[in-house]
Chains A and B, each alone.
Chain A
Amino acid sequence: MRACARVATESAPGPGGRPRTRISGLRSQAPLMLFTTRAKEGEPSVAHRGVPARVSVAAGAAGPIGGDELRLEVEVGPGSVLVLSEVSPSLLLPGREGRVSTTRVRISVATGGTLVWLPEPLVAARGCDHLNEVRVDLADDAALLMREEVVLGRHGETGGRVRLSTRVRRSGRALLCQDLELGTGAGRTPVVAHGHRAVGSVLVADPLWCAQEARSRPRTRLLSGDAVVTPLPQGAALISALCQDNASLRDTLRSGLAALGPPWTPRPVPPPP
């Protein structure tokens, strides 16, 4: 199965002259279904960057299954704020003849723009072979929060192979480049994941950290277990965690965000209207 979905946002005048984010493009293609939504989980307080639009991705079918090629394009226009979430975890399944499934995500965040991307975990079923490729281009003063979570195997199952390839640039300059292989090869060694079944990270790029003095920027913080918050050059921080299950992974990543402080500390989920 091949599919390409796209979401684009722009800044438009809202009530009282305050700019709000308008969705200027929304294209779904089965199984990648996009729709506007309300806040799903505790988000950072991005209100100072603008009134956000919220879009959620729903998988209209099981998978990705080996052989599937999915593509998601995200364009955050100047000054707009997009919170992109996902309805449920993706279950990565093997296809015929051991074919690879791929998900390619292309993201651009224009000047003054903000993207908070909170996808649900990739759950690697036995025998799967999946490549998740993410390419992000940030404008000079764009802000980004991006989460990645992988769970190796369902309950009691040995997970298949997952590769996460991430390239993030700010103004064309490399900010974070990581190719993480899990489930096979180096993934099982004591340097990558060893016996951990849930591996994840959150990247936060805040243009304010570029400008601030060294002491106001994020500092290295050891979290519980095998998890750490580390400052990256160019005003960014990476929360990296290896845990035994997805619940503790999510908790650990949230504690990392809490360690970064406002505005990145997740706020409680607003009650339903």
Chain B
Amino acid sequence: MTARAALLLFADGRLPAGGYAHSGGLEESVRTGRVRDAQSLESFLEGRARTVGLVLAAFAARSCRAARDPDPLPELEVLDAELDARTPSPAQRETSRQLGRQLHRLLTGMAHHPLLERLPRAPHQPLVLGAACGLYGLRPLDAALAALHESVTGPAVAAVRLMSIDPFRTHAALARIAPSLDRLAERALEHCDGSPHDMPAAAAPLLDVVAEVHATRSERLFAS
């Protein structure tokens, strides 16, 4: 597989790694009425990209760079703890580790690689995504873009099932925020070196709250 083909594969929403079961907090945000039309959805997606998206992108990019080191495991362990410290919601930590575990299982089924076999049992998802990008010859910028792309396309696609919105309009919103994803990916790249403690930690307190409320719901369409 070429690097470009790998990037398309990893960024594809049809990747059987569990992402499609999650709305990134959109389901509960629709329930509270904070997201109710195309405009508020776009604002939600933009906010998500600038907070969670930036953080995930920085961790994916750095994991991608680390995956090319002779022994990336010590750095990946530090990154795992740093990402925990940036995820105050236990429901979100659990989701991230569950998605990491699923992606990890998928990757080990795709090809044999010593690093993948040595990863801890349930690493955070962007660490696995980043490491996979590195192993398939992709650059940290690719890993950052893939993480950002995923942080907004998941909720955008979920929107079609959660509110009465034309899918053309959700994708028009994605197209409008695409240039900001490029800028955020460049920013994420600035943190491939230096102290991991200084990496982006953009907070989204309302997403933290809705993640915990959503986890208590018995009737829900999406897992998060």
Contact = CB atoms under 8 A, between A and B. Distances in A.
Contact of B81 (A174, A181, A186, A231): A174
Nearest to B216: A222
B21 interface: no
A236 B213 CA distance: 20
Nearest to A174: B85
Contacts of B198: 167
A230 B200 contact: no
A224 B57 CA distance: 33
A259 interface: no
Contacts of B204: 186, 191-192
A238 B215 CA distance: 17
B40 interface: yes
Interface of A: 165-169, 173-181, 185-186, 188-194, 196, 199, 201, 220, 222, 226-228, 230-233, 238, 240, 242
B212 A228 contact: yes
Contacts of A238: 88
Chain A at the B interface: mostly helix, strand, loop or mixed? strand
B202 A181 contact: yes
Interface residues of B, number: 41
From B81, B84, B85, B207, name the one whose CB has the most chain A CB atoms within 10 angstroms: B85
Given A173-B81, A192-B207, A230-B88, 6 more contacts: A168-B85, A179-B202, A179-B203, A185-B50, A189-B44, A231-B90
B85 A230 contact: no
Nearest to B195: A167
A221 B207 CA distance: 15
A230 B44 contact: no
24 contacts: A165-B201, A166-B201, A173-B81, A175-B85, A177-B85, A177-B199, A180-B202, A186-B46, A186-B51, A189-B43, A189-B48, A189-B50, A190-B29, A191-B206, A192-B205, A192-B206, A193-B205, A194-B206, A199-B205, A228-B209, A228-B213, A233-B81, A233-B84, A240-B209
